[in-house]
Structure 1
Amino acid sequence: MPVAIRLADWDTDRDAIRSIREAVFVQEQQVPVDLEWDDQEETSQHFLAYRETTPVATGRLTQGGKIGRMAVQKSSRGCGIGARLLQAICERAKEQNFQQVHLHAQQHAEGFYLQAGFEVEGDVFYEAGIPHIKMVRSLI
């Protein structure tokens, strides 16, 4: 099934972004709502991936070059949408002359990010009670 990925607008696409993140992080992973939404929402570049006309994945790039809030609806996992979304975010960062990007990967997803060219930096730490690892990728 074809997938389209586009730069989203927080003001007009907020409902779609929130719907995906609430399903994945708040409902599935039990992340407290007050930890899911932060002061980076309005200043970040958000991305949406669609199957047909349905938004199924999202992610964001902060002004500091941090990729985050990568979420793919459960029914759309395992078919490469996350990898394509991550690549689109990295390409956008490169277009904006970022030398590198970084993220806080949930530890169970470390292999996914390694395959996308990220490298581990530092030790495991916890966010929202979930083990994470900092990872970086050079864009040069």
Structure 2
Amino acid sequence: MNYKIYEQLPQEAKDIRIKVFMEEQGFKDEFDDLDQECRHLVVFDQNKPIGTCRYYYDDSLHANVIGRIAVIKEYRGKKVGQYIVQSACSLLKGTVCLHAQLQAKGFYEKLGFKAYGEIDYDEDCPHTWMKK
């Protein structure tokens, strides 16, 4: 596995996010204005894009934020998500936050993140803020 960083949202990241968040999970509003401000990390197996995330600095949180962490179905359970999160964190200094789907909270806890604040909903899906 290796990764590339993009200054703009690449087609590879779009395709992964469409597959995972829109087709599999049913989200409708996957893309937003933040995509223009973020850097995008795409993980490859050989030349095949298999996972992605985006990251940015949030002034109101005084922290870096990692989001839209997604791995294509056939690569789940192969530590690709862990590789994505650890790679992104290694690029960032200071506190790192993420807005986790509640069902993924345990995964992020294993990577050193701790939940804080209230549970909120994004398109009827429960999420919690976590930080490391």
- Using the size of structure 1 for normalisation, the TM-score is 0.87
Match of 1:74?
Answer: 73
Tell me how large the CA RMSD over aligned residues is: 1.0
Match of 1:27?
Answer: 23
Instruction: Give me the whole-angstrom Cα distance separating, in 1, the residues matched to 2:11 and 2:82.
Output: 23
The residue identity in structure 1 corresponding to 2:50 is: V
Instruction: Give me the whole-angstrom Cα distance separating, in 1, the residues matched to 2:65 and 2:7.
Output: 18
Instruction: Give me the whole-angstrom Cα distance separating, in 1, the residues matched to 2:86 and 2:47.
Output: 21
Match of 1:4?
Answer: 2
Q: Give unmatched runs, 5+ long, in structure 2.
A: 59-63
Instruction: Give me the whole-angstrom Cα distance separating, in 2, the residues matched to 1:6 and 1:83.
Output: 16
* Contact 1:103/1:136 (8 A) holds in 2: yes
- Using the size of structure 2 for normalisation, the TM-score is 0.92
Match of 1:90?
Answer: 89
Match of 1:44?
Answer: 38
How far does the alpha carbon of each residue in 1:49-70 deviate from its partner, in whole angstroms, 9 at most, with x for none?
0111100100011132111000
Q: Give unmatched runs, 5+ long, in structure 1.
A: none
SS in 2 for 1:20: helix
Instruction: Give me the whole-angstrom Cα distance separating, in 1, the residues matched to 2:57 and 2:38.
Output: 6
Instruction: Give me the whole-angstrom Cα distance separating, in 2, the residues matched to 1:44 and 1:9.
Output: 7
Give the CA deviation at 1:8. Answer: 2.4
The percent identity for this pair of structures is 32
* Contact 1:4/1:51 (8 A) holds in 2: yes
